[in-house]
Amino acid sequence: MKAGRAKRSPASALVRAVLLVLASALLLGVFASARTSISPAAPPSAEAGAWALAALEAARVGDGAPARPASAAWAGPGAIVVSAWHAGVPIAQHVEASGELVAAVDGAISAFAAERFLASLDAWRARGDERVRFTLECVLGEGPLLPSLPWVEELSLVPIHEGLVARLGDRAIYLTPEELRSRGGYEGGVETPIPDLTFGSPIAALKVRLAGELGVEADELERRGSVRRFRSHLVAESTYPAETEVTEAALRRASVEGAAFLLRHQHRDGKWTYVYDAGAGVERHEAYSLPRHAGTSYFVAQVDALHGMPEAREGALRSLRWLERNSMRRCGEHRCVESHGRADVGSAALTIVAAAEVLAKAPDPLAQRLVEELTAFLRSLQRADGELMHEFDLERQEPVDVQHMYYSGEAAFALLRAHDVLGDERDLQAAQRLMAHLTGAGWDFLGSRYYYGEEHWTCIAAGEGRARVDAEDAIDFCTRWLEFNDRLQFRAGETPWSSAGAFGVGPVLLPRLTPVGSRTEAFINTYLLLKHHGRDTTLARRVVERGLGQLLRWRWAPGPTHLFRDPAAAFGGMPGSPVDPTSRNDFVQHAGSAWIRWADVLREEAAAR
């Protein structure tokens, strides 16, 4: 059994317990949701929504009112909430209790005209990107919250579609889906020990907020009033998610705009912005990841190599210079990369990948030096069974035989890319031994044919080495992983959201987008592996194109612009989920690498035809 995967840490039991409780909560949530689901009324037509926005916009800048279509006579079963947004913040709101669209627009125009605060803003009369924007959220139905049970009540709201209304006497306060999105109200309800995994809405805290707006304590609202959830339909200037056909042109455009987003936020010294908060319009400061720094450098260099974008190549070289100045250390006889006080395989491997991608386009002394030095470091960590030791103790100057997720697959890919650009047979031999371990004996244990981890780097490496590495184990492993993920991949209509192409295990939790990027990137290389060896590629192509469609739909192009402080700065970013206002650099990297790689596959296939 592979060393890293065989070991059990104290945290693993906790993680399994969390997953068990989560599964139980999900089952309870599904059962309760079925009993309390909202049957929404029909929303206003696209024509009526467009008129409403145009009328609000015309009144804002002093233009003539647009002609009113017959469809504007729409009326719904609940209130209409009209919000004015500036720099990602709702600054004014009008609630039309009648549910009549015309009355909502007329009432909002009158209410906003009377707001001295709005009139004082330069953005109120502006016509550029910094202008005030409008949304209308039309209530289509109501329902109760889920039972007040741990990890169940937090699942009360369907993200994006549902909000909360609190009533006390003749007063009603609406907390709309767009307000919840702007304040992260659909995540963080339940924290788990698994990194980056939170779910559900903090319902108790939201009740306190609603009670405060009504001027009472939460227990008084609970005793004398009510808090219910409502389903609404959003009318906004930017259609999000945007339905986009998976074509070579669309994929190239998305990858170039993703690279431009990263370059726009690159520091002058070459360091990348790690997390960009589009709502606040600033970099969010979190512990910096060197593997993700290098992975980001790889993607922008890849766009130049596969498309042609000289500024992306320059950005990649700036990032490599920053890394060499700040993170290169001595590990025994070799140079290595230090990350947070330790030298590890992941940082070194992805630095090789980035530098090799630079060399794939044209020679560069820095990139060549990094590839030569760091591949020697990786080779020095290889065990007799082909696996690598993943850390190096800088103080003791000796390797540490421990394994971490991703690192071996990253290393195999790095060694193969190094062999591509420099032709050193030692790199190929090390990669062959490592791949034999990863797809053979390293994943051989009870249940190994029914359970998989995050193996995207392993199958990226398998596709990269399709003509150089023993294929049968790699084909078997990556095909099984592909089939496993095909069963997890959502089809149209299986969730309340536009989730076709995402991965998940039910309609309760909003799927995250990051695994879509990394797995799709891997399945493209699996497709190339299968194609090279004359195997059936039908399933791989379907899974890849579903995933690419999901990524194209949710990227910020332009995205939900009313939620962004600076829509131009956010353009081209990729969020971690449809309700995440942040874009981490690896969110863009994995999606972008998948986009540009499949665009190149489509180009090659079109040329062959």
Q: Where a domain ends, among 189, 206, 236?
A: 236
Structure tokens belonging to residue 330: 């001595």
Other beta carbons within 10 Å of 245: 8
| pLDDT digit string, tens, across residues 496-536 | 999 999 999 878 889 999 999 999 999 999 999 999 999 99
In a domain, 155, yes or no: yes
Say if residue 110 is in the same domain as residue 225: yes
pTM recorded for the entire structure? 0.92
Per-residue pLDDT, 446: 42
| pLDDT digit string, tens, across residues 103-160 | 999 999 999 999 999 999 999 999 999 999 999 999 999 999 998 888 789 999 999 9
Structure tokens belonging to residue 246: 């998976």
pLDDT-derived band at 3 (thresholds 50, 70, 90) equals very low
Q: How many domains does the chain have?
A: 2
Q: Where a domain ends, among 212, 236, 260?
A: 236
**Measured distance CA(600)–CA(292) in Å, rounded:** 23
Say if residue 185 is in the same domain as residue 246: no
Helix axes 248-264, 290-306, angle to 10 degrees: 130
Per-residue pLDDT, 478: 95
Per-residue pLDDT, 394: 96
pLDDT-derived band at 331 (thresholds 50, 70, 90) equals very high
Q: Terminus-to-terminus CA distance in the chain, angstroms?
A: 45
| pLDDT digit string, tens, across residues 124-134 | 999 999 999 99
Per-residue pLDDT, 198: 74
Per-residue pLDDT, 456: 92
- Name the least confident of 29-33, 303-307, 355-359: 29-33
Say if residue 126 is in the same domain as residue 56: yes
In a domain, 1, yes or no: no
* 3-class secondary-structure state, position 274: coil
Q: Are 374 and 352 in contact (CB under 8 A)?
A: yes
Q: Which domain holds residue 582?
A: 242-608
Per-residue pLDDT, 18: 45
Mean per-residue pLDDT for 65-77? 98
Say if residue 467 is in the same domain as residue 326: yes
In a domain, 287, yes or no: yes
In a domain, 587, yes or no: yes
Say if residue 407 is in the same domain as residue 325: yes
Per-residue pLDDT, 452: 55
Does residue 449 have a pLDDT over 60?
A: no
- Name the least confident of 30-44, 292-306, 351-365, 369-383: 30-44
In a domain, 19, yes or no: no
Say if residue 301 is in the same domain as residue 228: no
CATH number at residue 410: 1.50.10.10
Per-residue pLDDT, 8: 33
Structure tokens belonging to residue 233: 């339909």
Say if residue 232 is in the same domain as residue 345: no
Residue in 370, 407, 405 with CA at minimum distance from that of residue 388: 407
Which residue's entry shows tokens 């025994």? Answer: 332
Does residue 10 have a pLDDT over 50?
A: no
Say if residue 262 is in the same domain as residue 328: yes
pLDDT-derived band at 408 (thresholds 50, 70, 90) equals very high
pLDDT-derived band at 36 (thresholds 50, 70, 90) equals low
Per-residue pLDDT, 188: 83
Which amino acid is residue 384, in one-letter code?
Answer: A
Per-residue pLDDT, 32: 47
Does residue 443 have a pLDDT over 60?
A: no
Give the angle 37-41-43 at the CA atoms, nearest 5°: 125
Mean per-residue pLDDT for 376-385? 98
| pLDDT digit string, tens, across residues 543-585 | 999 999 999 999 999 999 999 999 999 999 999 999 999 999 9
In a domain, 24, yes or no: no
Per-residue pLDDT, 246: 97
Quick one: which H or E segment has residue 329? Answer: strand 328-331
Mean per-residue pLDDT for 282-310? 97
pLDDT-derived band at 196 (thresholds 50, 70, 90) equals low
Per-residue pLDDT, 30: 53
In a domain, 7, yes or no: no
Quick one: which H or E segment has residue 312? Answer: helix 310-327
Say if residue 221 is in the same domain as residue 295: no
Q: Where a domain ends, among 201, 236, 271?
A: 236
Say if residue 301 is in the same domain as residue 207: no
Per-residue pLDDT, 505: 81
Average pLDDT, the chain: 92
In a domain, 569, yes or no: yes
Per-residue pLDDT, 448: 47
Per-residue pLDDT, 605: 97
- Name the least confident of 47-56, 413-422, 447-456, 493-502: 447-456
Per-residue pLDDT, 262: 98
Per-residue pLDDT, 31: 47
Say if residue 278 is in the same domain as residue 335: yes
Does residue 338 have a pLDDT over 80?
A: yes
Say if residue 424 is in the same domain as residue 456: yes
**Measured distance CA(571)–CA(516) in Å, rounded:** 20
**Measured distance CA(102)–CA(453) in Å, rounded:** 53
